[in-house]
């Protein structure tokens, strides 16, 4: 095969494995013990030795530098949802781990792993930022936002709007206030988030009010984060609320966190039956 645009054959199977055996090709960094560490092309200690941890974290995810205002807002996204309520699904896992004297790291890792719950964890945030980015592309192509929202309603649930138990999301005034104070409340997607809420009300869905997933996704989209980058940024979103639950539960008598008596279980299965050896 010849010609200027000819592509080299792509290795497959064992040949592909042979190309990668015994070597790591990387652009994200490496360390030389006793000498230095390179973090995405820069010397970690020279460039980031006194940096904000969030600045390093976002640079690691994206390879981009963020402004001090953006870093402060991203901190706020984490802070405003750090709830030390042991009843919450992920905090409960951390607390149960503490109550049975498990390793704190294992307990917190397990709690983080379920924080990506599809309905009430990280899942809605991912679907919300995907929704906003698709909405932006649709509007750029000439479609009205109202028409796009109508299509979405007919096809799927619009994540980021609606909240179980209580429609009002107490976190939004604080986060939107922080965004305004930092000059970051005029982005396209942040404004779109409110327009979508108004549109849903006009379409007969007034209960589908904006929740934290939509507002944080809109702010992330305005900062240019992709869906995957936003997902990784969100990873420690609930983390600060977990250690208090674990520490408190570890001080309780072992096994006493949320004990459930047999008569507290609504069992509707097969009734009592004799044991047969």
Among the residue ranges 27-31, 57-61, 120-124, 260-264, the one predicted with the least confidence is 120-124
Distances from the Cα of 225 to the Cαs of 16, 132, 185, 207, 221, in angstroms?
32, 12, 16, 29, 5
Say which residues have a Cβ less than 8 Å from residue 96's Cβ, sequence separation at least 6.
Answer: 107, 249, 257, 258
Q: What is the pLDDT of residue 11?
A: 77
Q: pLDDT, tens digit, for every residue of 97-120? A: 999 999 999 999 999 999 988 888
Segment 2-28, tens digit of pLDDT: 455 666 677 788 889 888 898 888 899
Over residues 136-173, the pLDDT tens digits come to 999 999 999 999 999 999 998 899 999 877 889 999 99
* Angstrom distance (rounded) from CA 83 to CA 81: 6
Q: What is the pLDDT of residue 254?
A: 95
User: Mean pLDDT over all residues of the chain?
Assistant: 93
For range 45-73, the mean pLDDT: 96
């Amino acid at each position: 095969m010849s010609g200027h645009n000819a592509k080299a054959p792509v290795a497959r199977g064992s040949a592909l494995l042979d190309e990668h055996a015994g070597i790591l090709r990387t652009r994200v960094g490496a360390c030389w013990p006793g000498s230095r560490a390179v973090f995405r092309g820069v010397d970690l200690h020279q460039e980031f030795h006194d940096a904000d941890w969030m600045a390093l974290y976002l640079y690691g995810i994206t390879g981009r530098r963020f402004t001090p205002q953006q870093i402060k807002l991203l901190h706020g996204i984490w802070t405003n949802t750090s709830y030390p309520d042991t009843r919450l699904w992920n905090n409960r896992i951390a607390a149960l781990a503490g109550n049975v004297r498990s390793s704190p790291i294992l307990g917190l890792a397990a709690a983080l792993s379920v924080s990506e719950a599809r309905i009430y964890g990280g899942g809605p945030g991912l679907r919300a930022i995907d929704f906003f980015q698709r909405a932006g592309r649709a509007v750029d192509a000439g479609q009205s936002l109202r028409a796009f929202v109508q299509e979405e309603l007919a096809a799927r649930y619009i994540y980021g709007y609606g909240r179980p138990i209580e429609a009002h999301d107490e976190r939004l005034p604080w986060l939107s206030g922080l965004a305004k104070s930092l000059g970051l409340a005029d982005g396209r997607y942040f404004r779109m988030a409110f327009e979508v809420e108004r549109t849903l009300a006009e379409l007969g869905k007034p209960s589908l009010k904006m929740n934290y997933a939509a507002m944080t996704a809109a702010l992330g989209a305005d900062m240019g984060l992709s869906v995957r980058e936003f997902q990784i940024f969100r990873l420690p979103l609930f983390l600060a609320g977990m250690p208090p639950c674990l520490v408190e539960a570890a001080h309780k008598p072992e096994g006493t966190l949320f004990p459930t008596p047999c008569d507290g279980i609504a069992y509707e299965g097969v009734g009592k039956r004799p044991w047969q050896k």
